[in-house]
Amino acid sequence: MNAAQESSTTIARAALSRLFEPSDAVGLALVAAAGPRDALRIATGGLKAAGDIKEEIQELLAPGEGRGNLLDRALERWAPRRPDLAPERDLATLARFGGRLLTPEAEDWPGALEDLQLAAPVCLWVRGSVDVPPLQRMVALVGSRDSTNYGASVTAEMASGLAMKGFTVLSGGAYGIDAQAHRAALGTSGTAQPPTIAVMACGVDRYYPAGNEELLRTIARDGLVMSEVPPGSSPTRWRFLARNRLIAALGAVTVVVEARWRSGALNTAHHAAGLGRPVGAVPGSVYSANSAGCHRLLRGGSAICVTDASEVAELAGPLGTHPETDVCVPSSDHDGLAVQDILLLDALPLRMYSSIDKLATVAGLGFRDVLAGLARLELAGLALRGPEGWRRAPKS
Amino acid sequence: MNAAQESSTTIARAALSRLFEPSDAVGLALVAAAGPRDALRIATGGLKAAGDIKEEIQELLAPGEGRGNLLDRALERWAPRRPDLAPERDLATLARFGGRLLTPEAEDWPGALEDLQLAAPVCLWVRGSVDVPPLQRMVALVGSRDSTNYGASVTAEMASGLAMKGFTVLSGGAYGIDAQAHRAALGTSGTAQPPTIAVMACGVDRYYPAGNEELLRTIARDGLVMSEVPPGSSPTRWRFLARNRLIAALGAVTVVVEARWRSGALNTAHHAAGLGRPVGAVPGSVYSANSAGCHRLLRGGSAICVTDASEVAELAGPLGTHPETDVCVPSSDHDGLAVQDILLLDALPLRMYSSIDKLATVAGLGFRDVLAGLARLELAGLALRGPEGWRRAPKS
């Protein structure tokens, strides 16, 4: 691809991202079948789709069904937006904000998005100068807007701990858990570069919500603010839902810190699980409605319990690795002892000395076993030999 | 079996329970191979074990290894306790306390214990008059002795909720979570009969720990206090560990309400998981050391997150049933809407009316789709038709 082609491809993708809503299946199939430049010409009526393009779209979206009107209905859907297309103007707007457009054709395209397959975005509008880190270095922290003090402090500790370990903290730029995650990552002088990325449901020229303007401005300067919708786009419900899939795809792990029983954060978790990415959920009080969504995820088996940054980092490790299943062992000074030695330890008096005979009776062990066991317990510093027999060694 | 044989079997088991420590594998294999009466005669030197008995023990414990000295070493181990055997006296002591001995030969033997296979107890010393309920009606609530206020109140609500649903609450009679579980079950006037059962590590004639004397007395009166060790036995470490397997085997579910990272309650959970019984763990603050053990179980995948009595009851349902995996959906008024209708709903202004043309552009939908979608949204009470077009219906 020469420079002119590259440029026209970029412009085509910029235009398509305004024409299509996020996750427009027919639109994305059209791009897959015809390439972005012809897709734009077809979508805007400048080129009639050949039969094989229609067939390929049909095959991509509904294999074997054989009804070929998917594209025609989509063309009707896209028609009202044609007059609004001005991709060069949009790209100029982005450049004014010091941003750039990421496209699948370029080397800096986050490969992790390809896991979304046909639902991968047409392009990404990005504000900020650093590169998007690879999947293995990104963790998404998400949660409710109406977070509690508990949620806020867990988020802050987790984000800060992750940033110190070199992870970029992804979130959605919203109030509550999102804002706390971004803030804590920005405030941590670690090795993570960028410390944080906000994936927005609106255009990157807008600071939404207004109360986070200062925060988003800082993220655009020190990290990255990105969106699949072009400048000027407002954050709609659909774009919020679709945006969640990008957060889920970009992070090696998605952690839900605090969420109500029904919460958009669970939607992000669901996307992550669907992509085979590990999902973490932070436990909390059973009396907190703000933890009910996390407990729901844990109970349903779609999330793993995480309580700190290290446990999250462990999930982010080699992809898909789960923490080792614990063997639950009880604690304290009989750890690692064989059954007979535990019996013997139980039989040893704490203060007085006991004879071998007495120990055999109390422990229910034979004399040889008592003698052998006492030697082992003495070595372990648990039994004390005295003139009148044996007793428990005092705890050190 | 006639009455005399039955009585001598009972007496033999009573004696064996003093001769053997809980889970004495060779002893239990001897009983399995020779029956309780001959097992007692062999164990006390009154009968020489025939070759086939020795072989069967060997086969039960270490199949294919072919070294036949297991029984000889066990005989040496049991010898020191022979002089202490007085099963009739023990049974008389139990009768004085209004108790009885449960044995595998009798109809009232809890069948759930057979899941322990070779580790099933020789007999159960029981105080109290009611029958042991079937597995499906029993739930174990266990946890740390040093419980927090949080743990205490979750335990109380859970135990009380379970008792109201007709479940018998099993626990270990210790301080903390155990005591709270017993107390709440006793205080609930439900259909559970008995409301609670304490499975002890010491003889049922002893009230241990002393601070729970009043509570254990009440349990013995209104519920059941049981143990596999005979009257007079003291609670040793080994007996505590072995006792945990009985709690795990008797309950359809074992719930760990609060436990430190290393806690005996995890040992009970481990036994339950080993038996294929569902294990529940109650989540709590990540800052509470008393919830660290529960989070460890959740993280390791050996427990399911439970937050109230209903979720525990669900686990106790048909054995081994797991709660359905949730599909995580976001909340509110776009629930159940198709993508196109969400797009359209997003496009509808809150206060002003919008034309079909405008809606098509904003939503990125064709005119036919907008018309059809508006009809659906109007039906759903989400869109309002006016003289100048359409707007969002006010929330009811």
- pLDDT-derived band of residue A328, with 50, 70 and 90 as boundaries? very low
pLDDT at position B189 is: 76
Q: Which residue has the higher pLDDT, A360 or A215?
A: A215
Q: What is the pLDDT of residue A339?
A: 79
Q: pLDDT value at position A35?
A: 96
Taking the C-alpha atoms of residue B39 and residue B375, their distance in angstroms, rounded to an integer, is: 82
CB spacing of B366 vs A304 below 8 angstroms: no
Residue A119 lies in a domain: no
Q: List chain B residues with CB under 8 Å of A70.
A: none
Mean pLDDT of B276-302: 95
pLDDT category of residue B293 using cuts at 50, 70 and 90: very high
In terms of Cα–Cα distance, which of B302, B281, B323 is closest to B158?
A: B281
DSSP structural state of residue B216: H
In which band, very low, low, confident or very high, does the pLDDT at B332 lie, cut at 50, 70 and 90?
Answer: low
CA A47/CA A40 separation, integer angstroms: 9
Identify the helix (H) or strand (E) that includes residue B305. Answer: strand B304-305
Average pLDDT in the B268-295 region? 95
Residue B170 pairs with which residues in a beta bridge?
A: B140, B197
Q: Which of A292, A308, A364 is opposite residue B77, by nearest beta carbon?
A: A364
User: What gap in Å lies between CA A295 and CA A303, rounded to an integer?
Assistant: 9
Amino acid at A62: A
Q: Which residues contact B395 (CB under 8 A, 6 or more apart)?
A: B333
Q: How far is A341 from chain B (nearest CA, A)?
A: 10
Q: What gap in Å lies between CA A36 and CA A104, rounded to an integer?
A: 10
B305/A299 CB distance under 8 A = yes
CATH, residue A349:
1.10.10.10
Whether residues B167 and B209 share a domain: the answer is yes
- A60's CB contacts (< 8 A; 6+ apart) are A29, A32, A33, A118
My answer on whether B194 and B77 are in the same domain is: no
Count CB atoms within 10 A of the CB of residue A48. 9
Neighbours of A260 (CB within 10 A): 20
- Total count of domains within chain B: 3
Give me chain A's average pLDDT, please.
90
Instruction: Give the position of tokens 């109360």.
Output: A211
Average pLDDT over residues B288-297: 96
DSSP string, B90-157: HHHHHHHTTEEEE-TTSTTS-GGGGGGGGGS-S-EEEESSSPPPPGGGEEEEEE-SS--HHHHHHHHH
Whole-number pLDDT of residue B357: 87
Q: Angle, nearest 10°, between helix axes A149-164 and A309-316? A: 50
% pLDDT > 90, chain B: 66
Nearest one of A77, A347, A196, A265 to B236, comparing CA atoms = A347
Query: What is the phi/psi pair of residue B30, to 5°?
Result: -65, -45
- Average pLDDT (B323-331) is 40
Q: Do A298 and B295 touch (CB under 8 A)?
A: no
- Do B18 and B155 belong together in one domain? no
Say yes or no: A235 and A160 in one domain: yes
CA distance B130 to B220: 10
Structure tokens at A11: 């412009």
Residue A144 placed within a domain: yes
Contact yes or no for A248/A268 (Cβ under 8 A) = yes
Q: Do A368 and B76 touch (CB under 8 A)?
A: yes
Residues for chain B: how many in total? 396
Give me the residues paired with residue B169 across strands.
B139, B196
Distances (CA, A) of A362 to A335, A357, B125, B235, B388: 21, 9, 20, 12, 94
- Which residues lie below 8 Å from residue B113, measured CB to CB, with a gap of 6+? B104, B120, B121, B124, B246, B249, B250
Q: Which three-class secondary structure state does DSSP give residue B376?
A: helix
Q: Output the pLDDT for position B324.
A: 42
Chain A positions in Cβ-Cβ contact with residue B262 (cut-off 8 Å): 329-332
Query: Which residues on B lie below 8 Å from A328 (Cβ)?
Result: 266-267, 269-270, 273, 296-297, 300, 302
Report which of residues B2 and A213 the model is more confident about.
Answer: A213
Of B180 and B189, the one with more pLDDT: B180
Q: A154, A251 in Cβ contact below 8 A?
A: no
B121 in a structural domain: no
Predicted confidence (pLDDT) at residue B321 exceeds the cutoff of 60: no
- Please state whether beta strands B138-143 and B168-171 pair in parallel, antiparallel, or not at all (unpaired): parallel
Chain-chain contact of B300 with A325 (C-beta, under 8 angstroms): yes
Cβ <8 Å between B150 and A334: no
Residue B294 lies in a domain: yes
Q: How far apart are CA A114 and CA B101, in angstroms?
A: 67
Residue A311 placed within a domain: yes
Same domain, A41 and A151: no
Identity of the residue in B262, B299, B363 whose CB atom sits nearest the CB atom of A305? B299
Extract the tokens encoding B370: 């907008």
Cβ contact (<8 Å) for A365 and B77? Answer: yes
- Tell me: the pLDDT tens digits for A275-302? 999 999 999 999 999 999 999 999 998 8
Q: How far is CA A110 from the centre of its chain?
A: 15
User: Residue A332 — pLDDT band, cuts 50, 70, 90?
Assistant: low
Q: Is residue A302 part of a domain?
A: yes
Dist CA A12 CA A2 (whole Å): 15
Q: What is the pLDDT of residue A303?
A: 95
Asked if A130 and A203 sit in the same domain, the reply is yes
The answer as to whether A258 is a domain residue is yes
Determine how β-strand B99-102 pairs with β-strand B124-127.
antiparallel
Q: How far is A330 from chain B (nearest CA, A)?
A: 5
* Residue B75 sits in the same domain as residue B134: no
pLDDT above 70 (res B76): yes
Where on the phi/psi map is residue B84: left (φ > 0), alpha (ψ -120 to 50), or beta?
A: alpha
- Structural contact between residues B246 and B268, judged by C-beta atoms closer than 8 angstroms: no
Last residue of a domain, one of A84, A114, A141: A84
Task: Provide the pLDDT for residue B151.
Answer: 97
Sign of CA dihedral A235, A238, A241, A244: negative
Decide: residue B47, CB within 10 A, 0-12 exposed, 13-18 middle, 19+ buried.
middle
Query: pLDDT digit string (tens) for B48-73?
Result: 999 899 888 888 887 766 556 789 88
Given an 8 Å threshold on Cβ–Cβ distance, is B342 in contact with A237?
A: yes
Residues B162 and B197 in one domain: yes
Question: Distance from CA of residue B388 to its chain's centroid?
Answer: 64
What pLDDT sits at residue A1? 65
- The structure tokens listed for A284 are 């909390």
Which structural domain, as residue segments, surrounds residue A188?
126-316
Tell the burial category of A379 from Cβ atoms under 10 Å away from its Cβ (0-12, 13-18, 19+).
exposed
Tell me, what amino acid is at B63? Answer: P
CB contact (8 A) between residue B299 and residue A24: no
Q: Do A286 and B307 touch (CB under 8 A)?
A: yes
In chain A, which residues have their Cβ closer than 8 Å to the Cβ of B304? 298-299, 301
Distance CA A37, CA A43 (A): 10
Distance from CA of B23 to the nearest CA of A (A): 10
Summarize the confidence of residues A310-325 as an average pLDDT.
68
Helices A70-78 and B367-379: angle between axes, nearest 10 degrees: 90
The rounded distance, in Å, linking the Cα atoms of B14 and B88 is: 8
Residue B351 pLDDT greater than 90, yes or no:
no
Q: Any bridge partners for residue A391, and if so which?
A: A384
Tell me how close the Cα of B271 comes to any Cα of chain A, in angstroms.
9
Residue B310's φ and ψ, nearest 5 degrees, are -65, -40
- Under a CB-based contact definition with an 8 Å cutoff, are residues B101 and B125 in contact? yes
Is pLDDT above 80 for B327?
A: no
Residue B364 to residue A78, Cβ atoms within 8 A: yes
> Are B27 and B176 in the same domain?
no
Residues A46 and A181 in one domain: no
Between chains, do B81 and A364 touch, taking CB under 8 Å as contact?
A: yes
Query: Can you give the CATH number for the domain in which B261 is found?
Result: 3.40.50.450
The answer on B348 and B302 residing in a single domain is no
Residues B10 and B138 in one domain: no
In A37-135, the DSSP E strands lie at 99-102, 124-127
Task: Read off the tokens for B132.
Answer: 């042991």
Mean pLDDT of chain B: 90
Q: Which residues of A touch B233 (CB under 8 A)?
A: none
Q: Which helix (H) or strand (E) holds A389?
A: strand A389-392
Mean pLDDT of A148-166: 96
Distance in angstroms (rounded) separating the CA atoms of residues A290 and A284: 8
In this prediction, residues A47-51 reach a mean pLDDT of 91
Residue of chain B with shortest Cα separation from A81: B361
Tokens found for residue B191: 């259909």
- Among the candidates B53, B85, B117, a domain finishes at B85
Alpha-carbon span A314 to A322, nearest angstrom: 8
In the numeric block, which tokens belong to residue A90?
Answer: 């949009």
Residue B37 has pLDDT above 90, yes or no: yes
Q: Residue B249: exposed, middle, or buried by beta-carbon count in 10 A (0-12, 13-18, 19+)?
A: buried
The upper half-sphere exposure of residue B60, i.e. CA atoms within 13 Å in the direction of its Cβ, equals 21
Residue B156 lies in a domain: yes
Distance of residue A2 Cα from the nearest chain B Cα, in angstroms? 33
Show which of B60, B85, B110 is a domain's final residue: B85
Is the confidence at residue A77, as pLDDT, over 80?
yes
CA distance B104 to A22: 66
CB pair distance less than 8 Å for A20 and B304: no
Burial tier of B367 (Cβ tally within 10 Å: 0-12, 13-18, 19+): middle
What is the ipTM for the molecules in this complex? Answer: 0.80
Which of A19, A73, A299 minimises the CB distance to B366?
A73
Least-confidence region, from A247-256, A274-283, A381-390: A381-390
Set of chain B residues whose Cβ sits within 8 Å of the Cβ of A301: 304, 322, 325
What the block records as the tokens of A171 is: 């979130």
Q: What is the CB neighbour count within 10 angstroms for residue B141?
A: 34
